[in-house]
């Protein structure tokens, strides 16, 4: 089980879910939320990473709009609210908050020094921008939405980056997927994995499109990647 912590910044304070491994010292991974906020899925993801030996932290990136949002993909009301929050989300402010979270977690007792990031959906876009705009040691994006519109930043990726693309993603068109692949293919720091037949959010714990085989494959690749880069 993790705990809720408070991260103080010049813009204000926001909460984050923090899970610790058993080891006294460990690398850290910043988990970046989907459009549903820091919900049970994000907390389970942090807990699972802690079980794999990582400090894991998931900041509340909606705090500027509404603190402590917790939604899921099972009801129309949750979808409506999640999409409204997503459409009003300030991506640049979100990256500022990710930078502040990176600073916070690097200052924690027991952090070995290296910090990675991984995100889903909206968080997938932010994981890509974490790779292009921050000093995170490694980043992983799951079915990022809107990456194609910012693919011009791909040349700024200096640390290892991995992306998982759902080929039947209802929020990322085939044309958008091609733009992303083409924009990343020449960067030796980047690994691109595609999942035929998979819908958006195929790795969301208990989600409506969850596919265990492909989620296990993607998560296994992610853990192997972080083990290589972060230790």
Question: What is the Cα gyration radius of the chain?
Answer: 16
Question: What is the reported pLDDT for 231?
Answer: 85
Question: What is the reported pLDDT for 168?
Answer: 98
Name residue 119's beta-bridge partners. 32, 141
What is the enclosing helix (H) or strand (E) of 161?
strand 161-166
27 within 8 A of 116, measured Cβ to Cβ: yes
* Residue 209 known to be catalytic: no
- 41, 148, 169, 211: which is the annotated catalytic residue? 169
- 200, 209, 211, 216: which is the annotated catalytic residue? 200
Domain that includes residue 92, residue range: 3-230
CA-based diameter of the chain, in Å?
Answer: 46
One digit per residue, the tens of pLDDT, for the chain of length 231 reads 799 999 999 999 999 999 999 998 999 999 999 999 999 999 999 999 999 999 999 999 999 999 999 999 999 999 999 999 999 999 999 999 999 999 999 999 999 889 999 999 999 999 999 999 999 999 999 999 999 999 999 999 999 999 999 999 999 999 999 999 999 999 999 999 999 999 999 999 989 999 999 999 999 999 999 999 998
Question: What is the reported pLDDT for 7?
Answer: 98
Which CATH number characterizes residue 193's domain?
A: 3.40.50.1820
* Residue 169 known to be catalytic: yes
The count of structural domains within the chain is 1
């Amino acid at each position: 089980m993790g705990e809720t912590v408070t991260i103080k910044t010049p813009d204000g304070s926001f909460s984050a879910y923090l899970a610790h491994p058993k080891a006294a010292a460990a690398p850290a991974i910043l988990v970046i939320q989907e459009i549903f906020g820091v919900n049970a899925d994000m907390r389970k993801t942090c807990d699972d990473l802690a079980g794999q030996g990582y400090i894991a932290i998931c900041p509340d990136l909606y705090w500027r709009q509404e603190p402590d949002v917790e939604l899921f993909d099972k009801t129309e009301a949750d979808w409506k609210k999640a999409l409204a929050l997503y459409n009003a989300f300030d991506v640049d402010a979100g990256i500022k908050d990710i930078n502040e979270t990176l600073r916070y977690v690097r200052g924690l007792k027991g952090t070995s020094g290296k910090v990675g990031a991984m995100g889903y959906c909206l968080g997938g876009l932010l994981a890509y921008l974490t790779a292009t705009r921050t000093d995170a040691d490694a980043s992983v994006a799951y079915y990022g939405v809107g990456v194609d519109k910012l693919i011009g930043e791909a040349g700024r990726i200096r640390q290892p980056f991995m992306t998982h693309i759902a080929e039947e993603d209802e929020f990322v068109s085939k044309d958008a997927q091609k733009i992303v692949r083409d924009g990343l293919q020449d960067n030796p720091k980047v690994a691109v994995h595609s999942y035929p037949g998979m819908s958006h959010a195929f790795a969301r714990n208990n989600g409506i499109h969850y596919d265990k085989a492909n989620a296990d494959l993607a998560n296994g690749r992610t853990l192997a990647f972080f083990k290589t880069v972060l230790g």
